[in-house]
Chains A and B, each alone.
Chain A
Amino acid sequence: MNKEFVKFDKVDKSYDGKVLVVKDLQLDIEEGEFVTMLGPSGSGKTTCLMMLAGFETPTHGEIYLDGKAISSIPPHKRGIGMVFQNYALFPHMTVYENLAFPLRVRKIPKDEADKKIDKALSMVSLQGFAQRMPGQLSGGQQQRVAVARSLVFDPQLVLMDEPLGALDKNLRESMQYEIKHIHESIGVTVVYVTHDQSEALTMSNRIAVFNDGKVQQLSSPDELYEKPVNSFVAEFIGENNTFAGEVLDISEGKCKVKLANAEIMANPISVKGKGEKTTVSLRPERALINPSDKMDNIHKGKIEEVIYHGDHTRVRINLLGNSDFILKVPNSSSNLDIKLGNEIKIGWNSQDARALDPK
Chain B
Amino acid sequence: MSSETKQILTTDGIPLEVSLKKAERRNKIKAFLLVAPLLLFIIITYVLPIGDMLMRSVDDKMVTQMLPKTFKAMEKWDGKELPEEEVFAAFHSDFIKLVEEKREGKLSTQLNYTKNGFKSIIKKLRRKSKSFEDGNYKEQIMAVHKRWANVEYWQAIKRRAPAYTGQKYLKGMDMFKNESGEIVSVSEDRRIHRVLWLRTLEIAFFVTVFCFLMAYPIAHLLATLPMKYSNLLMICVLLPFWTSLLVRTASWMILLQQQGLVNDFFVGIGLVADDNRPEMMFNKTGSYVAMTQILLPFMVLPLYSVMKTISPSLMRAGKSLGGTPFVAFWKVYFPLTIPGIGAGCLLVFILAIGYYITPALVGGASGTLISNQIAFHMKSTLDWSFASAMGLMLLTGVLAIYWVYNKLVGIDNIKLG
Contact = CB atoms under 8 A, between A and B. Distances in A.
Tell me if chain B binds chain A.
yes
B322 A153 contact: yes
B393 to A, nearest CB: 37
A85 B313 contact: yes
A214 interface: no
A241 B16 CA distance: 62
Nearest to B316: A55
Interface stretch (B91-99, B253-261, B324-332): B324-332
Contacts of B331: 90, 101
Contact of B319 (A76, A90, A106, A159): A76
**Residue of B317, B324, B335, B336 ringed by the most chain A CB atoms within 10 A:** B317
Name the 9 nearest CB pairs between A and B, nearest first.
Answer: A102-B321, A88-B317, A82-B320, A88-B313, A75-B319, A84-B313, A105-B322, A76-B319, A105-B323
Contact of B321 (A74, A85, A153, A159): A153
Nearest to B336: A92
Interface of A: 53-55, 74-82, 84-86, 88-92, 101-102, 105-106, 149-150, 153, 159
A53 B317 contact: no
B327 A90 contact: no
B318 A101 contact: yes
A153 B318 CA distance: 13
6 contacts: A76-B325, A81-B321, A82-B317, A88-B313, A101-B321, A101-B323
B311 interface: yes
A88 B316 contact: yes
Nearest to A97: B331
A209 B332 CA distance: 35
A105 B320 contact: no
Contacts of A82: 316-317, 320-321
B336 to A, nearest CB: 6
Contacts of B48: none
A196 to B, nearest CB: 20
Contacts of B320: 53-54, 75-76, 78, 80-82, 159
Nearest to B328: A76
Contacts of B335: 92
B365 interface: no
Contacts of A81: 320-321
B229 to A, nearest CB: 15
A200 to B, nearest CB: 22
Contacts of A77: 322
Contacts of A90: 314, 317-318, 331-332
A77 B322 CA distance: 6
A85 B313 CA distance: 9
B316 A149 contact: no
Contacts of B314: 88, 90
Interface in B366-393: none
B336 A76 contact: no
B411 to A, nearest CB: 18
Tell me the dominant secondary structure on chain B's binding face.
helix
Contacts of A78: 320
Contacts of B318: 90, 101
B358 to A, nearest CB: 37
Contact of A79 (B313, B322, B328): B322
A106 B313 contact: no
**Residue of B314, B321, B322 ringed by the most chain A CB atoms within 10 A:** B321
B311 A106 contact: no
B324 A76 contact: yes
A88 B336 CA distance: 13
Interface string B304-319: 0000000101101111
A92 B148 CA distance: 74
A77 B324 CA distance: 8
A102 B324 CA distance: 11
Contacts of A92: 335-336
B313 A86 contact: yes
A184 B332 CA distance: 32
Nearest to A79: B322
Contacts of A85: 313
Contacts of A76: 319-325, 328
A86 B316 contact: no
Contacts of B323: 76, 101-102, 105
Contacts of A88: 311, 313-314, 316-317
A166 to B, nearest CB: 12
Nearest to B327: A105
Nearest to B332: A90
A91 B313 CA distance: 12
A75 B321 CA distance: 9
Contacts of A101: 318, 321, 323, 331
A76 B324 CA distance: 6
B316 A84 contact: yes
A102 B319 CA distance: 9
Contacts of B325: 74, 76
Contact of A75 (B313, B316, B327, B332): B316
**Residue of B328, B331, B336 ringed by the most chain A CB atoms within 10 A:** B331
Contacts of B332: 90
A106 B331 CA distance: 14
A255 to B, nearest CB: 50
Contact of A105 (B313, B321, B336): B321
Interface string B322-348: 111101100110011000000000000
A159 B321 CA distance: 12
Contacts of A54: 319-320
Contacts of B322: 76-77, 79, 102, 105-106, 153
A162 B318 CA distance: 18
Nearest to B320: A82
Nearest to A101: B321
A101 B324 CA distance: 12
A79 B319 CA distance: 10
A106 B313 CA distance: 21
A276 to B, nearest CB: 46
A55 B325 CA distance: 12
Contacts of B311: 86, 88
A10 B263 CA distance: 58
B328 to A, nearest CB: 7
Contacts of A55: 316, 319
A76 B328 CA distance: 10
**Residue of B316, B319, B320, B336 ringed by the most chain A CB atoms within 10 A:** B320
